[in-house]
Amino acid sequence: MTDTRERDRSDVAPAVAELETIVSLAKRRGFVFPSSEIYGGINAVWDYGPLGVELKNNVKRAWWRAMVQERDDIVGLDAGILMHPQVWVTSGHVGSFSDPLVECATCHRRYRLDELPGAEGLSATDLRDESVVERLGLVCPNDGGQLSAPRRFNLMFTSHMGPVEDDGSLVYFRPETAQGSYVNFKNVQGSSRKKIPFGIAQIGKSFRNEISPGNFVFRMREFEQMEMQYFVRPGDAATAAFDEWLPERRAWYSRYGVDPSRLRLREHAPDELAHYAKKAIDVEYRFPFGWKELEGIHNRGDFDLGSHARASGENLEYFDPASEEHFIPWVVETAAGADRAAFTFLIDAWREEEVRGEKRVVLGLHPELAPYKVAVLPLLKKRPEIVAMARALRADLARDVMAVYDDTAAIGKLYRRQDEIGTPWCVTVDVESLEDGAVTVRERDTMTQARVPLEGVGRLILDRLAASRG
């Protein structure tokens, strides 16, 4: 494998901000709230506030742009969260989608084995070893109590479909969107007439009953995935596609502003591979709590289409008219998390700097990701003509972009507030504007200001947005 495994520790880029700083900003400014907070919250579920929903939608849009809109070999799909239960038996999730769980004999707290102090870095083989707790002398981190031998805990949430709650009505909440693309392979290929290699992209909710969720929105029980399944000829073509997708997906994060020194690739050891994967490499990000997976690139071979063909009796072969061959395509998957990506962009964009002796907090978000593209601010809210002009300008800009009006503080404070939520441009309407029909456009990162005729503001913002896309 390439990359940073061998790197000197001093080479590791430090995380940008403390986790608490980001969590506090996210709550205070309306990015993310704990779910059901007035009832004390529910573990590992988070709600996106007014700014968070904009940021996450923009992340999903940016992914869709790169994966579907800008390519002619990938099409979209939006499959159901609930699927035929046999899908999850065939996919291997009923049998193998589990984590090792240990329980304390005295306080009865439960832990994921590999997250216990002293068990970090255990190999996948060790994690399956029933004697590992005894062998390593692991104890409960809460009260030092004796821990049970690990048992496998299946991560899928279940429910029942229809009015009868018996085994025959059991359904699973999907733990990945990928299976929707496999079971629709024939439908999508037939209707879109795509020829191999081609991909199916999906964005949607997935659910996992994680044993130890945490680190804010990093690991949740309800989350969103952005996954793409790329169908290719078996063998070498899959290896080549895998090698092409890897830099492509890493570059997507940098394209939207993530510092490349805080991204690295990490290959899964053979005993660490998921049940479906022949090869897997993660794009990792240097979170405040260490290097962690941001996205997985997987060579899934013919595991999925092959298994579904056998179990359903459907012929899921592809006919290649050029070579006149029938074969089960192999799949190269790029599997990202929308929440994890939004979280990453948020952390990586955060910075604190000193401007003329004062602290300024800035979210240097890529303009495409910023919740608001522009804020319109009146210099004097007591002058009704200025307020009217500013409000009219906001309404005009809002036809094309998310634009916000704010007059609840003095101009310096209004600028700081917009800096802190990442708004790339502020437009100020002042007394002179009433006479010369021009306004001041201020740029977030450089804080430079330019006088622009009122009728040119919309064009200027749209041009700068287009330029930021590269």
Peptide bond into 247 cis (omega under 30): no
Rounded to 5 degrees, what are φ and ψ at 338? -70, -40
The only residue of 126, 293, 368, 419 in contact with ligand GAP, by rule CB under 6 A:
293
Q: How far is the CB of 20 from ligand GAP (least distance, A)?
A: 20
Binding mask 294-333 for ligand GAP (x = CB under 6 A): xxx------------------------------------x
Q: Are 234 and 329 in contact (CB under 8 A)?
A: yes
- Residue 340 or 394: which CB sits closer to ligand GAP? 340
Please list, in sequence order, all residues whose beta carbon lies within 8 angstroms of the beta carbon of residue 429, skipping any fewer than 6 positions away.
376, 377, 378, 379, 386, 389, 390, 393, 439
Q: Which residue type does 92 have? A: G
Q: How far is the CB of 202 from ligand GAP (least distance, A)?
A: 10
Q: How far is the CB of 255 from ligand GAP (least distance, A)?
A: 17
Rounded to 5 degrees, what are φ and ψ at 52? -65, -40
The only residue of 202, 225, 334, 428 in contact with ligand GAP, by rule CB under 6 A:
225
Q: Are 272 and 296 in contact (CB under 8 A)?
A: no
Token duo for residue 91: 């996919």
Q: How far is the CB of 97 from ligand GAP (least distance, A)?
A: 9
The only residue of 63, 88, 223, 256 in contact with ligand GAP, by rule CB under 6 A:
223
Q: Which range, of 99-107, 128-136, 221-229, 394-402, touches ligand GAP by CB under 6 A? A: 221-229
> Strand 263-267 to strand 279-287: parallel, antiparallel, or no bridges (unpaired)?
antiparallel
How many chain residues bind ligand GAP (CB under 6 A)?
A: 19
- Residue 51 or 335: which CB sits closer to ligand GAP? 335
The only residue of 25, 178, 369, 461 in contact with ligand GAP, by rule CB under 6 A:
178
In sequence order, the β-bridge partners of residue 438 are 453
- Residue 54 or 99: which CB sits closer to ligand GAP? 99
Q: How far is the CB of 286 from ligand GAP (least distance, A)?
A: 15
Decide: is 245 part of the binding site for ligand GAP (CB under 6 A): no
The only residue of 54, 176, 284, 407 in contact with ligand GAP, by rule CB under 6 A:
176
- Residue 1 or 447: which CB sits closer to ligand GAP? 1
Q: Are 220 and 45 in contact (CB under 8 A)?
A: yes
Backbone φ/ψ region at 219: left (φ over 0), alpha (ψ -120 to 50), beta:
beta
Q: How far is the CB of 74 from ligand GAP (least distance, A)?
A: 16
The only residue of 220, 241, 316, 347 in contact with ligand GAP, by rule CB under 6 A:
220
Distance separating alpha carbons of residues 357 and 347, to the nearest angstrom: 24
Q: Are 88 and 158 in contact (CB under 8 A)?
A: no
Backbone φ/ψ region at 235: left (φ over 0), alpha (ψ -120 to 50), beta:
left
* Strands of 151-154's sheet in order across: 110-112, 98-103, 151-154
- Residue 276 or 415: which CB sits closer to ligand GAP? 276
Q: Write the DSSP assignment of 305-349 as a string of letters.
A: HHHHHHHH-----EEETTTTEEEPPEEEEEEEEHHHHHHHHHHHH
Q: How far is the CB of 19 from ligand GAP (least distance, A)?
A: 15
Binding mask 332-351 for ligand GAP (x = CB under 6 A): -x-xxx-xx-----------
| Residue nearest to ligand GAP as judged by C-beta position | 337
> Strand 98-103 to strand 151-154: parallel, antiparallel, or no bridges (unpaired)?
antiparallel
Q: Which range, of 60-68, 182-190, 217-225, 318-326, touches ligand GAP by CB under 6 A? A: 217-225
Q: Where are the alpha helices (DSSP H) in 354-446?
A: 384-397, 411-421, 431-436
Could you say which residues in the range 371-400 bind ligand GAP, by CB under 6 A? Answer: none
Which residues in this chain contact ligand GAP in the complex, by CB under 6 A? 176, 178, 208, 210, 219-220, 223, 225, 227, 293-296, 333, 335-337, 339-340
